[in-house]
Chains A and B, each alone.
Chain A
């Protein structure tokens, strides 16, 4: 009896020790690797990102992260401040009179990270694999219009379109899918949509090490053709939780936190106020807008929409809610985009009296003893939908609710999931919705395209515009223009008309924030919203 008990005891103890030792063994093994990689690099910049960087494939979307793709792969044309399009991998280009043939002269000193030469053949090969999967990339306008791709000689590449499409050059600056993978990266069948063999690009960074969900280390491409980055390595730690990112930064485990939504505004403010860190705020990257569905009876009259615009103190709201990190917007697109300067819109300020009289004129009257205006037995009650994960939208919704109550409008607010928000917008199941445009380098043409196409919400939302058909015609005309002046005139007229009729109310300009340790210098935001900001950055020792 005692023997049996003893043997059982030994067995249990043995199992226990086994479990414990496997556990500890597993830990010590990896610890050696970790400490080794830490010591030999003091010129390394460490940042945090909420999601894994994903596969380094220039031609796919999820789960690859834009900033990481842009570190390794480069475009023919780059988008710079103020919407200027500058040569990048293409030294220069010519556009034919009819706007259909684009001839690119490629830089001759560019090599992929594996030493192979960047030339017209590899450009064509990349374009052809992208076009094989054109359906998925059809959101990018020029992809659908490509008729032919040709490698004329070693350094000349020609793109022939089926019809003129002026945004082609601008769209070539996007991060995906039109960037270039080296020959060695292509799988045997040449189809990159299922994956690449190795991430060979021409960019300033090379992916050195990647552990999914843990970290990715990029090292400087010593043979880079352009300006060599100052830091030798960039380590991207994957930290999904926003508070943990801040704690890791406070502890000094991170050098830099940047990006949209990577740090909350509250945390940013709090960290900034300590004075222990440097901060920086970008130029506007997009406009936060309210989209009013004119199909809804209450919102079908222009005067009601204008009254709503007059009826809230935009400046105080934006200043108060974002602590000045966003700025009041008077235009539906930021004015630092191409063709968006000097749009002569009707200025609308905060004017409660005017708002009330507009509503009276429109027939929405406030009866005695009631708080909500009525017309033909219907009350002026509308619903605002916001993304429940975005605190700024939520607080703005609450502000609007109380401001509009003062002019006799009952606003119900409802918070939904982001995907739900987009879906309801698309299906036109909303009264008022928050939206923000795609930003550089996609706008202004993408924004207009969204307004014109059915199935995005906008087209249906502006149904009550008397000149809707005319607007849609003009929008369809813009991309085909070959004359700069005419194009600008069209843009001015469309953007003015869309805004003045009040279905899209500009609220604020969204900006990116960055916070970094004091020894990090020369941080600048790229003009392209999706591009990485690491080229000029350096760490003082």
Chain B
């Protein structure tokens, strides 16, 4: 078990190396260099003298591979460098913004779980019933509507017209509602369908038949047995989506002026702020791997058959 976890965590290293190489490589392929982008954003004329000075400051006058290796070596010592734009340590900038992003992500997960578990379960239990039809419409809607548009629509109706929630910002729970619902809707769409399919599948299993012949109450069969097993694919989906959730916050944070990490990352891309981009890539890669790992562990916990299979191999 311990070696298994360790092995999975170690797999972050190659993933990270490849991801950073790709992202920094792509930035270098683009015709714009970060020094130039800095001066554009500063509204000053890019004289050759200033450009040369900034390039030197950013270390861009070194060959690409050397720059890359240097930055990776530093990251290994947990030094993410200095942001080109703000002149402050990247790590400070990032840790300042991460709590807001986590708050938003957790908010949307909570909403997604609270809505999709009962909805998906009931839709599966009463196939083609009213709830099933409703869940189908909601899923189509949630899966196909782009979140930035949905965000504007929510702001327009619930904030400008009905004055229920503030338009933008962070602070109270009211601020959290619209952005997290916007972020949660695609998740709800997916999990509801996943759970419904899985409930339907499980209801065909022999154990349900046995339980029925044993005279166990239908409610108990469904709630205690079917749901417990049927929820497993949904948890996998949830874990796989943690990374996606982080990237999904980018748009939602911009629309709702949520002062999080995603919005900061977008600005870093426009400014070609390479240290910030590398830090984001590392965090995103780690999140994908760690969340998958956590999901596997939770799966083993809920359905011990999985770990038994693991042990047999």
Taking Cβ atoms with an 8 Å cutoff, the residues of A that contact B are 8, 19-20, 23-24, 26-28, 30-31, 33-35, 51, 54-55, 60-63, 66, 135-136, 138-139, 194-195, 211-215, 237-241, 243-244, 247-248, 250-251, 253, 417-420, 422-424, 426, 438, 446, 450, 453, 455-456, 530
Contact = CB atoms under 8 A, between A and B. Distances in A.
A419 B87 contact: no
B50 A135 contact: yes
Interface of B is mostly: helix
A424 B30 CA distance: 12
Contacts of B96: 212
Interface stretch (B18-26, B124-132, B193-201, B257-265): B257-265
B254 A241 contact: yes
B40 A418 contact: yes
Given A239-B257, A244-B257, A253-B167, A422 B156 contact: no
Nearest to A429: B31
Contacts of A23: 103, 106-107, 110
B282 to A, nearest CB: 21
9 contacts: A23-B106, A27-B176, A34-B171, A61-B42, A243-B152, A244-B168, A247-B152, A418-B40, A456-B46
B50 A213 contact: no
Nearest to B83: A63
B254 A251 contact: no
Interface stretch (B133-141, B158-166, B208-216): B158-166
A248 B167 contact: yes
B44 A139 contact: yes
Contacts of B110: 19-20, 23
A314 B156 CA distance: 38
Choose among B33, B45, B170, B254 the residue with the greatest number of A CB atoms under 10 Å from its CB: B45
Interface residues of B, number: 58
Contact of A419 (B37, B43, B152, B267): B37
Q: Which 4 A-B pairs have the closest CB atoms?
A: A61-B42, A213-B259, A31-B172, A248-B167
B42 A27 contact: no
A219 B257 CA distance: 23
Interface in B109-162: 110, 152, 155-156, 159-160
Choose among A35, A215, A237, A241 the residue with the greatest number of B CB atoms under 10 Å from its CB: A241
Contacts of A239: 168, 257
A237 B36 contact: no
Contact of B168 (A136, A195, A248, A426): A248
B173 interface: yes
B36 A419 contact: yes
Given A20-B110, A455-B47, 8 more contacts: A8-B301, A28-B173, A34-B171, A240-B267, A244-B155, A247-B152, A247-B160, A423-B32
Nearest to B56: A135
Given A27-B173, A237-B257, A241-B257, A251 B50 contact: no
A23 B46 CA distance: 46
B95 interface: no
B168 A237 contact: yes
A237 B53 contact: no
B47 A138 contact: yes
B259 A241 contact: no
A418 B54 CA distance: 19
B171 A62 contact: no
B183 interface: no
Contacts of B37: 419
B253 to A, nearest CB: 9
Given A23-B110, A420-B32, A195 B171 contact: no
A455 B48 contact: yes
Nearest to A134: B49
Contact of A62 (B41, B47, B163): B41
Nearest to B272: A419
A237 B259 CA distance: 11
Interface in B238-261: 254-257, 259
Given A243-B152, A422-B36, A19 B49 contact: no
A292 B274 CA distance: 34
B41 to A, nearest CB: 5
Nearest to A213: B259
Interface of B: 30-33, 36-38, 40-50, 53-54, 85-87, 96-97, 99, 103, 106-107, 110, 152, 155-156, 159-160, 163, 166-173, 175-176, 254-257, 259, 263-264, 267, 271-272, 301-302
Contact of B31 (A250, A253, A423, A438): A423
A244 B263 contact: no
A238 B172 contact: no
A139 B45 contact: yes
A420 B272 CA distance: 12
Nearest to A193: B87
Contact of B264 (A138, A213, A253): A213
A450 B45 contact: yes
A214 B87 CA distance: 19
A62 B255 CA distance: 23
B78 to A, nearest CB: 22
Given A239-B257, A241-B257, A455-B47, A247 B53 contact: no
Given A253-B167, A419-B37, A240 B106 contact: no
Contact of B171 (A30, A243, A417, A455): A30
Contact of A194 (B43, B85, B87, B97): B87
Contacts of A426: 46
B85 to A, nearest CB: 5
Contacts of A24: 173
Contacts of B53: 135-136
A62 B36 contact: no
Contacts of B169: 214-215, 237
B259 A238 contact: yes
A177 to B, nearest CB: 10
A63 to B, nearest CB: 5
A20 B267 CA distance: 31
Contacts of A455: 47-48
A46 to B, nearest CB: 11
B43 A66 contact: yes
A135 to B, nearest CB: 5
A472 to B, nearest CB: 17
Given A8-B302, A61-B42, A244-B255, A31 B173 contact: yes
Contacts of A240: 254, 257, 263, 267
Contacts of B106: 19, 23
A238 B167 CA distance: 12
A438 B42 CA distance: 12
Nearest to B45: A139
A486 B103 CA distance: 65
Contacts of B159: 247, 251
A179 B104 CA distance: 40
Contacts of B38: 62
A250 B257 contact: no
Nearest to B302: A8
Contacts of A33: 171
A389 to B, nearest CB: 10
A20 B54 CA distance: 46
Given A31-B171, A244-B256, A417-B32, A251 B160 contact: yes
Contacts of A31: 171-173
